Structure 1
Amino acid sequence: MAIQPIDLQTLYSQLANVSKNVAFQQQGAQLQNAIQQEEHSKRLKEQHEAVEAAVNHDEGPGAVKNKSGGASPEKEKKDKQKSGSDAQTDDKIMEVIKDPRLGQHIDISG
């Protein structure tokens, strides 16, 4: 069975539509890839900023004490010496129990 000229004419007219569809699909894949890369870079930037914010956070336990009390360091030392016996009794009461197997078992089954 031979190909008729009308069949060739229809084939060539549809060939332009097919090529347009393929071009749109390829551009869509490239666009999707670009969007994913942009989102990934945003996430990395946010993580980096979070780490920098944590590193730059200078307030420690000492800064909190100085802000709240407003007392001089000498007065704080005296207060610590007075309450030293209380702190020692609290340490004796508070006992930490640790499991020796903790962190030894790794579940790799998923």
Structure 2
Amino acid sequence: MLLAFTEAQKLKSNQNLAVPVTAIMLHSTWSSLVLIAKPVHFFGIIPFTLANYSGSVIPILLVVFVQAYLERFLNRIIPKSVNLVFIPMLTFLIMGTLSLWILTKRFSFD
């Protein structure tokens, strides 16, 4: 998570959003699902890649890199009056799904 914090700092992104987005991949419930090898589908349709990301660097770098651009895009399109609520919510929803589905699929080494 320190890697995510540092990369978000370098990309001039919100560190308070980057750390929880990468913490999704390091959560203990996710690790237990990987250990029992039970297939996971988001909303019953999007299959997640079962991989342990606790010792990985590349997936975390990739997720924070994409999250920085997503955050900039959301800052442009969401009005300032509601951005305090909607930017973190949409970032967690979009990046949480992307991090476990598409972005880390190529870098799962298990």
TM-score between both structures, scaled by the size of structure 2: 0.23
Task: Choose between structure 1 and 2: higher helix proportion.
Answer: 1
- Structure of greater Rg: 1
